[in-house]
Structure 1
Amino acid sequence: MMIQGATDVLLCIGFPTTIRKAARAWYYGLQSRSINFFEQLEYSFVAHFSTSQRVPQISDNLFSVKQGEIEMLRDFVARFKVTTLEVRDLNEDMVISVMKKGLKGSRFTYSLDKTLSRTYAELLECA
């Protein structure tokens, strides 16, 4: 619409067609005549929904993922994998090391000390 040179009024009228669910409920909950121009609508929208954005995780967050005493290995691995998906620029060597540190002591961790996993995929396969 902006490329076509739409006016502020047209942008405001077209806005609700581009949103759904919570955003639409928020929009229709605005007080009548509380928005005077599109930039004000844009600012209000971003201010209201900016806390809903997911913040990319950092590698340090992986250190907090530890296997619980009664947690099954497959459950820990699934949880660990989900956390790694949220981390940008993952260093494979570090991930291997951190995952090993997060495991509780068992025959499996003992076997990992005996055999060196060269890749993260290899470690997941062993698990």
Structure 2
Amino acid sequence: MHLQGVANEIMCQAFQTTLKGPARIWFNLLTPNSISTFKELSAQLASHFIGGHRYKKSTACLMSIKQWEDETLRSYITHFNKEALSIDEADDKILVAAFTNGLRKGKFLFSLYKNEPKTMSDVLYRATKYINAKDGLMARDEKPKKRDR
């Protein structure tokens, strides 16, 4: 918009449509006409949210992630991946070790120990196969419903 020569007022108004969550709330609480340029708006936004910058965690944090007692494997994978994304440059071997370390004892963990995966991709592939097989067996065990004739 700046390259097209769009006026500051229009850029400031258009800018608000791109905001979500806390940034949108912050924008809506600004005193009307308190900012005169887009540059000033950008600077105020940056200074307001700079304190909330999230720093990457160390790989040691991964070792504290555990599968909860009532947590499904599918949920644990989601939970683990969310935390792993906050780790800066996590090595595949560390990811595999941390994921395995956090798993509850059971058939899937036994299968990982029996045939150790080399990559996190391999772990996720095997986990998906395990989940699908378990879901298939559970569906098979369900009692069939009576058919309408």
Same fold, TM-score > 0.5, yes or no:
yes
Aligned equivalents of 2:25, 2:99: Cα separation in 1: 42
**Which string of whole-angstrom CA distances, capped at 9 and with x for unpartnered residues, describes residues 20-76 of structure 1?**
255566445433453355443322222334466655454333223210112122221
1:84 corresponds to which residue? 84
Aligned equivalents of 2:104, 2:36: Cα separation in 1: 59
**Greater RCO (CA < 8 Å, at least 6 residues apart):** 1
Q: Secondary structure at the match of 1:87?
A: coil
Written as runs of structure 1 = structure 2, the 5 A alignment for 1:68-107 is: 68-107=68-107
Identity %: 27
In the alignment, does 2:12 pair up with 1:15? yes
Written as runs of structure 1 = structure 2, the 5 A alignment for 1:45-64 is: 45-50=45-50, 55-64=55-64
The TM-score with structure 1 as length reference comes to 0.69
Q: Secondary structure at the match of 1:70?
A: coil
Aligned equivalents of 2:38, 2:71: Cα separation in 1: 52
2:31 corresponds to which residue? 31
Structure 1 vs Structure 2 CA RMSD: 3.1
What are the ranges of 5 or more consecutive residues in structure 2 without an aligned counterpart?
128-149
What are the ranges of 5 or more consecutive residues in structure 1 without an aligned counterpart?
none
Query: Structure 1 residue 18: deviation in Å?
Result: 2.5
Written as runs of structure 1 = structure 2, the 5 A alignment for 1:108-119 is: 108-119=108-119
The TM-score with structure 2 as length reference comes to 0.61
Q: How many correspondences in the alignment?
A: 124
